[in-house]
Amino acid sequence: MRRVPPLLTLPEARMQHELERAAAIAAGAAVYRRQTVRLVLVCIGDYVVGVAIMGLSLHITDVNLAQVLFYVGLLRALGGPMWTVLFSLWLEENP
């Protein structure tokens, strides 16, 4: 069997540089993944807190206080995650 020579030969310094570059890219991807998971968990937490406040408003006998709690819970459940995502995107662009 005949051995085929490599199509491209790279110097050792170039191969080492490419390995370091690939390691840096992998480390950056891991950091981005952790930040994304943290952001999703914070948004889920905001939503759950808002729904809990709306649920609490159903058990309040004072009508005015119940309405205020319901709308505060609605704002927290829907507005909290939205502002969290917008603020985090703004912080990524403006460190």
pLDDT at 51: 95
pLDDT given at position 7? 82
Q: Can you give the residue ranges of every domain in the chain?
A: 12-93
45 contacts 64 by C-beta, under 8 angstroms: no
29-53: average pLDDT: 92
Residue 72 has pLDDT above 90, yes or no: yes
Mean pLDDT over residues 34-53, rounded?
93
Instruction: For the chain, give the number of residues.
Output: 95
Statement: residue 32 has pLDDT above 80? yes
Q: What is the DSSP string of 55-80?
A: HHHTT-S-HHHHHHHHHHHHHHHHHH
In the predicted model, what is the mean pLDDT of residues 39-44? 92
